[in-house]
Amino acid sequence: MIASVKCVPEQTRSKSITVDDPAVSELLKRRRAVEDHFAQLGHTYRHGRVYRAFEHRVSRPALKLALQVAGIYSRGIENALTPVLNKVPLFFPGLPTAWEGFQILHLSDFHIDGTPALAETLVAVLESLRPDVCVLTGDYRFEDHGPSEAIYPLMRKVLSGIQSRFGVFGILGNHDSSGMVSRLEELGIQMLINEAAAIGPGSNPLWLIGVDDPFDYGCHDLERALDSVPSGGFKILLAHSPEIYREAEAAGIDLYLAGHTHAGQIRIPGIGALRQNASCPRAYAAGHWRHLHMQGYTSAGVGCSSLPVRFGCPPEIALIELKSDTGRG
């Protein structure tokens, strides 16, 4: 890892991603094909030309104007720059003793070039934490198309505040592009592209399984990602959205970490989020949830989409602690 990143992993991947790395090119082959298809169409599967035009020319300006007229737009910006730290203990039956108290720093949906000042406020909180591992569940860029150069110095700043024993692992979201992978790796993030990484003791490692975006690109391949993972290992899935919960539970995933929904970003008292933005039960779109034998946590994200404002839904830094449920009722 480069010197600006304080986290020094005890284990790192055997490969280093470069633009021309054949192994990485193969992993990104499907993603790049879909990106080329989107480029020809001029839109993504879910965000067509009409949708994009309406959002940029009508819905965003109208919402901004409404908030300004109500006198609360500046308050929304202030809210978006005030992250909260949520400490989340999660209890698992039969958790290996080696992983008791293991802390996972979960960050998602930076959209960092849309709110550049967020990088500094995040660092102020992150510097005080000492997680065992940090995971990033996608969406580093604000728009879902166009240039991404602005994100790298800002992400470098964010990473400078992370001190993680086993390093930083990340996946792509629906706002990201395949071309960002090598640049993010240069910053010290081990990107998982439908692949898994083992951390901890070789005799009983914890497995991080990262899949490509299931929301818009549909390039996730959980079966491939699990190829090298033993059935009995403790498995943590990183997926941008919570939508593949059925497939994940059937595959024996213990903990599913996701983002994408922003938990609504604007939540109305007594009503909650006005928009879920994910094909899953409403309860799975924010915070802690369970699906049969699997637990999940969907982050509210640290950044903003559409407008750089938040109401009733602050930016979230989640610190998840694994615990055994032995003795619990």
Would you place residue 1 in the very low, low, confident or very high pLDDT band (cuts 50, 70, 90)? very low
3 within some domain: no
The long-range contacts involving 223-230, CB below 8 angstroms and separated by at least 24 positions, are: 223/251, 224/194, 224/195, 225/192, 225/194, 225/195, 225/196, 226/196, 226/251, 227/196, 228/196, 229/196
115 within some domain: yes
Predicted local distance difference test score (pLDDT) of residue 328:
54
Rounded Cα distance between 318 and 131, Å, is: 11
User: β-pairing, 133-136 with 287-291?
Assistant: unpaired
| Domain extent for 225 | 22-324
Rounded Cα distance between 137 and 320, Å, is: 14
329 within some domain: no
pLDDT digits (tens, 9 = 90+) for 91-107: 999 898 889 999 999 99
pTM of the predicted model, to two decimals?
0.92
The tally of domains found in the chain comes to 1
CATH of the domain at 241: 3.60.21.10
CA angle 173, 178, 184 (to 5 degrees): 80
Predicted local distance difference test score (pLDDT) of residue 319:
98
Q: CA neighbours within 13 Å on the CB side: how many for 304? A: 25
15 within some domain: no
Give the three-class secondary structure for 5: coil
pLDDT digits (tens, 9 = 90+) for 39-83: 888 777 777 777 777 888 898 999 999 999 999 999 999 999 999
8 within some domain: no
| Tokens 């500046």 sit on residue | 74
Predicted local distance difference test score (pLDDT) of residue 20:
58
Mean pLDDT in residue range 263-291: 94
